[in-house]
Structure 1
Amino acid sequence: MKLRCTLLLLPVLYLVGCGPSENEVVVDELTGQVLEPVTTEYDMHRLLEDSDITGGQWITTAQVQAFLQQKGSYLATYKDPAWSNKTAAALIVERSKAYTISPLYMLARIQTESSLITSGTSTNLAKATGCGCPDSGGCTISYAGFGNQIECSAKKLRGYLTDLDAGRATISGWKPGVTKSTSDPCSVKPANKATAALYTYTPWVGAYAIQCGRSDIGGSSLVAVKYNQFKSEYAWGTGSTVTCYSGTVDGNVAVGVCVQSSSDGIWRQCLSDGTFTAGTTTKPTTCTASWPWCSSATLGKSVPARTCVQSSGDLQWHQCGAEGLWQSAPNAASTGSGPVGTCFATYAL
């Protein structure tokens, strides 16, 4: 903790003692949030596992809503008018899954940056995930607002992982197996993609890692603390009990997930018995996540999930992914696959 000096009055003389008091409150110099006592220490080279960042795709809006209520969070009753009055829980789940980012990780990120998961007030709502808010101060206006913050955070993290999946370093130079200095400063050699991505987002080790020694900043190590704390505080499940195999996705999807079939364009939803519904021409309103066709300006039409297209706009390859979003697929031309699997079809210029 930061040392502070306290004047101690004794019967005979005055003594000046320096050191953190038992009830001292230490505020994170980056986020302004109150830091909790260090009770868990993480390896700064391996803060989280890759599956911690990208897993949890079975987590539902109902589960996140229940967790927010359990925590007495202001977010439990919040709806974002800029996002069609969607609830905070819906935005956390939908926007995280749109980029194959774990909603549980997003909860940890929100708590680290703004304390909104446990706060009963709206303080810091506009900068919930700290996205677009550099250490130098100030936040980008276009990222202000809860829904925008979730979207920004998930999209940026997916971008970092896309670079790492392709064997490249992230935009700020982080890469597994490569030593780089954090802002603490400490020399860190990320052991996996998750840790490299975390330091790209927040280049501070912080107070909760074994090796660094920083005590006045939460940093990326606090994300690990919150992730594992939240993981143990609620029965999130494993998502492995019941799934449905989808040929369109070329893999299993969780109960509640909707898929627009590559064969006939019909929407089908995974049921709790491991089968899909008969299907409808319109997307069900109860989808926990979805795999729709993606609209391609290059082709002038929509194409099924996993389709790979070389864009006429930037000449780069992209693949149709979850929620109808195009993801960078730099190796599609040579490998026939992208971030969501084997290309359903390929379209080169």
Structure 2
Amino acid sequence: MKTRLLWLLVPALLAAGCGPVEDSEAPVIDELTGQVLLEATTKYDMHRLMEDTDITGGQWITTAQVQAFLQQNNSYLATYKDPAWGSKTAAALIVERSKAYSISPLYMLARIQVESSLVQSGTSNNLAKATGCGCPDTSGCDAQYTGFGNQIECSAKKLRGYLTDLDAGRATVSGWKVGVTKSTSDPCSVKPVTKATAALYTYTPWVGAYAIQCGRTTVGGSSLVRVIFDRYKSAYAWGTGATGCYTETAGTTLPVNGCVQSSSDALWRQCLSTGAFTAGSTAKPSTCTVSYPWCSSSTLGRSVPARTCVQSVNDSQWHQCGVEGAWQSAPTAPTSGAGPVGACYEMYAL
């Protein structure tokens, strides 16, 4: 565990010459995670650690790209498949579960490395607590979140919950909010400028060693997430995201300016050219090039999200909620669980 992050220091060592390098000081170990801390050669503003699109962007990133990145880093995760999640690969789980909550897979890779070093480790140490989700500083990990797939799901879901609260103008579960000063565990007095920064401190309430102000030198904290994110962002050709945004609600990739009414909270989100969605709004954006709204069902007496399959009381036939809120014939839904726009989000038989 002590050497997992040391590859990031190689350029500095090589610049010193080709002779043997004496380790004059013992490596500094993060007192919370047990990981080796990096040299703080770059420091960030603790009030603005990350931009919102750093956490919600990257929706164009594919499983193949993440798999290649893991292989590039000789990661144990490059060959891992989670039996609890249908033997899906680590890359597939990182991409699918992150995108299910409109969280960036690139951010998730940085989070995994900060919490467990698994992205750059060739061993399975810390696999069960890969993202540190459900593992508070003051106690052990919650058993319900044990396992790699569960850790990715937990981390992405919790972060989305924080952002949902912040989008609605509320503070997060632990009281973090944009423009409101709050003390971290370092302690430091932080006034988040971005929602992403407030969400980071909700997840890990430490500034750590890589911020300009106040941080501790014995803890990586939330500032380390920014360090690793920036390094990973430039270490692989992830693309630009101009092709669109993947939406779990519609089960498809929307083009830029495409819109979807989320199945989780019924709020409208529009795809940006960065590959991220806009913050949720109750009104449908006026510039949507294509949209997936909820569909009104007379059979159920209410509206339901895109991809929902319903057996109509009028003709006993199955239909699926599709693009532009239109019901489409879905005769195979009762046997295959899917219709013309993909797997049924929910199924309602007579």
Bin the TM-score by the shorter chain: 0.5 to 0.7
Structure 2 match to 1:35: 37
Structure 1 residue 175 displacement after superposition:
0.3
Aligned residues: 250
- Structure 1 position 304, deviation (Å): 3.5
How far the C-alpha of 1:301 sits from its partner, in A, is 9.1
Residue aligning to 2:50: 48
Going from structure 1 to structure 2, the CA distance change for 1:302 and 1:87 (only over 3 Å counts) comes to farther
Query: Aligned equivalents of 2:192 and 2:293: distance in 1?
Result: 35
Q: CA–CA distance in 1 between the matches of 2:123 and 2:293? A: 36
Q: Which amino acid aligns with 2:155?
A: S
Answer yes or no: is 1:303 the counterpart of 2:277.
no
Q: CA deviation at 1:38?
A: 1.1
Indicate the SS of the match to 1:236.
coil
Q: Which has the higher strand share?
A: 1
Residue 178 of structure 1 aligns to which amino acid in structure 2? V
| Structure-1 residue corresponding to 2:17 | none
Question: Residues 179 and 188 of structure 1 are in contact (CA less than 8 Å); yes or no, is this contact kept in structure 2?
Answer: yes
User: 1:73 & 1:292 partners in 2: Cα distance?
Assistant: 40
Distance (whole Å) between structure 2 residues aligned to residue 206 and residue 136 of structure 1: 17
> Partners of 1:231 and 1:214 in 2: how far apart?
25
CA distance in 2, matches of 1:193, 1:220: 14
Q: How does 1:1-349 map to 2 (within 5 A)?
A: 22-240=24-242, 242-243=243-244, 253=254, 299=300, 303-305=304-306
Asked if the contact 1:71–1:118 (Cα under 8 Å) also holds between the matched residues in 2, the reply is yes
Conserved? CA contact 1:57–1:102, under 8 Å: yes
The RMSD of aligned alpha carbons is 3.1
The 3-state SS of whatever aligns with 1:107 is helix
CA offsets per residue over residues 74-116 of structure 1, 9 Å max, x none? 0000000000000000000000000000000000000000000
Q: Distance in 1 between matches of 2:96 and 2:114?
A: 20
Structure 1 segments unaligned to the other structure (5+ residues): 1-20, 260-290, 308-319, 321-349
Shift of 1:239: 1.3
- The answer to whether the Cα contact below 8 Å between 1:57 and 1:254 also exists between their aligned partners in 2 is no
Equivalent pair of 1:50/1:194 in contact (CA under 8 Å): yes
Cα pair distance change 1:245/1:198, threshold 3 Å:
closer
Give the deviation of 1:303 after TM superposition.
3.0
Alpha-carbon contact 1:239-1:254 (below 8 Å) kept: no
TM-score computed with the length of structure 1 as normaliser: 0.66
2:98–2:108 Cα contact (<8 Å) kept: yes
**Contact 2:246 2:253 survives alignment (8 Å):** yes
C-alpha spacing 1:178/1:121, structure 2 compared with 1 (3 Å): same
Q: Shift of residue 22 of structure 1?
A: 3.4
Check 1:243–1:127 CA distance in 2 against 1; reply closer, same or farther (3 A cut).
Answer: closer
